[in-house]
Structure 1
């Protein structure tokens, strides 16, 4: 093993040590053991809500523990693999060294990704995420861009095996969407996707312009944590205006023959949410109430953060333009906060956004520490 490789292995070991320290590996092992006993209790499902929370906590924490232990085991095996390569000769040595180098690169990527996870320590970071995408300035191009972003996030979730549920889609007349709200269910979905909040900008030759001119359009992304019973977000029915209407699809065509879609307007704040994914009006109202509660919780957090920012005499950058997608005259996606960029625009719009998410999480942690 050469000196450069030995140094890289030491750096990998140091990174993994810091990750294990940050997540308190021994404490996590105790937690998993305690939760395992609790979920094995015969009367667990007497209280469904508590049972769901316990089993979810156990599943997530057990997955974290297994992931950490797997990384440590891979690092130990990697050292052995390099030793075997050093002790071998000829083509065997070459093959073993190539295998070890490949595993080293793979392990570095996985350790870096796990390190990012340890930075998600916010109050709601572990929760599922409610994502809303809206078309902003730019007319039909903006509506088309909003639909592109929605697809990007749904493809990202699909690639990771995360379940999604679309609550509402408001289609634009010519193409694309006016807005859409969907849930991503995964450990740390909110903490991960919350760095996507803000204004996204698209520059391209408009497919809707007969003269083939370059068009700049904008779409907004809003991310909220899914509300749990412990959050105490109370909604008074007297503060709500409830409208029912017929679900519609692209181009305004009717999808449902009954008025099952529900729109809720929260009168004190002006927040409007709607849901049309279920056949039943009651189910749609329940889903819309869950979305409204999440938005109210997010607003409460924003107000608390705004107060903290004012006390620190520093403004928040949330809601500002945060990423540009340039498809003409060159190909580039660039995050304006982190400077993370790539020329692989097609891949990004197909859901390969982990590099942007990781950079955003690191940027936010540094900003919070500043």
Structure 2
């Protein structure tokens, strides 16, 4: 600890806080909270439950963000005072307490900084995630199920509400696909950086010769649609089929035709739901996911048109975005950010915040570079 410079660390932490406070605009945030409080106290708010949930969720998230910032500001002052008093009185315990508090505050501010980087159009939404097995046969189906567990454990670690909407089980082991929803502000902003192809390399537990197997699974992340999105889907554009829900190995999990499959005829998109108890609930859940996919499709088409106007902006995600290697060594590495860890078991148990945070920083840099390139080309023209 002799080489530790408290003053330098304090100044760096203050600078980080100032940057976050400027990005968030605490005065504007406080005004937004007052406006939301007026909306939340309006008579008849709950006559429209979707709007009421949107308002109360937004208010809660804004209040939490402002409280974290004001608490951090107070702690910065307290830590500085505690260290100064400890130094003057030769109180080593007080100095050590101040140092520990400052280090923890630095970590908290890093978490807050990540949220300021989630500035995409839909980043503050809840998320709908679909995992599909890819090349690799039964190993790929097993890998898809491992990824499902990984993300559900991640949500559990953070206390996020996660709900599995649909699961299609493979014949021998694992799953063909699964869709789940995470109802938490900024769940889409965080998990959207997980979208892409995930590769697993290991000794196959399904190969009696113990050979190494490479398998793939695709992760798709969508923002949950809101009532204000106005995605109109005429009945003539969809085909609705019903069937019996099935569990592992193809066994029926109920005797009624409660499962629903909706096909969007103009685009060919197909969504199926079977985890709700009634056909009405499954249809509503399937329509919500279909609307989310159409919303993203609309957004991608708009982005494509903007890209054509702006020129060739290289900010694409590669097909294979992360490798999980269990043999001949232990390593999980993100191929976009370079972030890696040898704690593979921790990753499979949901400890993926390092990858998500690195992905958010990487995405923010890519967006900024793309914007700068577009502006430079616009000025040149």
User: Smaller-chain TM-score range?
Assistant: over 0.9
| 1:26-105 map, 5 Å | 26-89=27-90, 93-105=91-103
| 1:133-282 map, 5 Å | 133-282=131-280
In the alignment, which residue of structure 2 is the partner of 1:348? Answer: 347
The answer to whether the 8 A contact 1:197-1:223 is kept is yes
276-285 vs 315-324, greater mean Cα deviation:
315-324
The answer to whether the 8 A contact 1:201-1:321 is kept is yes
- SS of the residue aligned with 1:292? helix
Q: Deviations over 1:213-233 (max 9, x none)?
A: 111111000001111121111
**Distance in 2, Cα, partners of 1:4 & 1:31:** 39
- SS of the residue aligned with 1:262? strand
TM-fit CA distance, 1:106: 1.3
TM-fit CA distance, 1:121: 1.2
Query: Which of residues 277, 284, 287 in structure 2 aligns to 1:289?
Result: 287
TM-fit CA distance, 1:357: 0.7
CA RMSD of aligned residues (A): 1.6
In the alignment, which residue of structure 2 is the partner of 1:326? Answer: 325
**Distance in 2, Cα, partners of 1:296 & 1:47:** 24
The answer to whether the 8 A contact 1:127-1:226 is kept is yes
**Distance in 1, Cα, partners of 2:25 & 2:244:** 52
Hey, which bits of structure 1, 4+ residues long, moved more than 4 A? none
- SS of the residue aligned with 2:270? strand
The answer to whether the 8 A contact 1:146-1:177 is kept is yes
In the alignment, which residue of structure 1 is the partner of 2:377? Answer: none
In the alignment, which residue of structure 2 is the partner of 1:361? Answer: 360
TM-fit CA distance, 1:47: 3.6
TM-fit CA distance, 1:277: 1.1
**Distance in 2, Cα, partners of 1:18 & 1:253:** 56
The answer to whether the 8 A contact 1:306-1:316 is kept is no
1:299 aligns with 2:300: no
- CA 1:327/1:193 → structure 2, altered by over 3 Å: closer, same or farther? same
Number of residue pairs matched by the alignment: 367
State the TM-score, normalizing by the size of structure 2.
Answer: 0.93
The answer to whether the 8 A contact 1:197-1:319 is kept is no
The answer to whether the 8 A contact 1:326-1:332 is kept is yes
**Distance in 1, Cα, partners of 2:311 & 2:45:** 46
State the TM-score, normalizing by the size of structure 1.
Answer: 0.95
TM-fit CA distance, 1:157: 0.7
**Distance in 1, Cα, partners of 2:48 & 2:261:** 32
Uncovered stretches (5+) of structure 2, i.e. residues with no partner: 370-381
| 1:114-125 map, 5 Å | 114-125=112-123
TM-fit CA distance, 1:80: 2.0
In the alignment, which residue of structure 1 is the partner of 2:10? Answer: 9
Uncovered stretches (5+) of structure 1, i.e. residues with no partner: none
**Distance in 2, Cα, partners of 1:319 & 1:136:** 16
The answer to whether the 8 A contact 1:309-1:316 is kept is no
**Distance in 2, Cα, partners of 1:177 & 1:316:** 32
